[in-house]
Amino acid sequence: MVVRGAVFRESRWFVSADGVGTRSCPQCGGASASRHSWYVRRLQDHLPIQGVPVVLELRLGRWRCLNEGCARKTFVERLTTAFPFARKTRRVSDLLRLFGHAAGGRTSEKLLARLAMPVSWDSAAA
């Protein structure tokens, strides 16, 4: 990731960065150097800044598949720091799982909120 900046709004820190993920088609595996467009993906990160939650705003590329035999025409850059379609980084997911397993749902919700990592009790229990 290449950090572009940080701003405090809506009672949390938003860190803007350009994502650097894999640019190979998930269907055929072909690499691409042909950018189609950009999109922004927001992820909750677990390390708060001065007791304030952090949201990563990653600008990721949408790429064209250059393999003419592939049915997929475009695909999105894949991150190693988050699962596809996830709203949290892998670090947050791992931490939630540990808290939920050790303390249970509602207790974990309260502890994580105190640590500036707000989640609902059913996310903490998952």
DSSP secondary structure of 44-91 = EEEEEETTEEEEEEEEEEEEE---TT-S--EEEPBPSSS-TT-SB-HH
Taking the whole predicted model, whether its pTM rises above 0.95 is answered as no
Q: Are 57 and 40 in contact (CB under 8 A)?
A: yes
In this structure, the answer to whether residues 9 and 67 fall within a common structural domain is yes
In this structure, the answer to whether residues 24 and 41 fall within a common structural domain is yes
Name the residue range of residue 70's domain.
1-80
In this structure, the answer to whether residues 10 and 52 fall within a common structural domain is yes
Q: What pLDDT, on the 0 to 100 scale, is given for residue 114?
A: 83
In this structure, the answer to whether residues 54 and 29 fall within a common structural domain is yes
Q: What pLDDT, on the 0 to 100 scale, is given for residue 69?
A: 92
In this structure, the answer to whether residues 63 and 104 fall within a common structural domain is no
Q: What pLDDT, on the 0 to 100 scale, is given for residue 71?
A: 92
Q: What pLDDT, on the 0 to 100 scale, is given for residue 37?
A: 93
Domain count across the chain: 2
Q: What pLDDT, on the 0 to 100 scale, is given for residue 106?
A: 84
In this structure, the answer to whether residues 45 and 62 fall within a common structural domain is yes
Average pLDDT of adjacent 10-residue blocks, the chain of 126 residues: 90 87 86 90 78 87 92 87 77 82 84 79 60
In this structure, the answer to whether residues 76 and 21 fall within a common structural domain is yes
SS3 34: coil
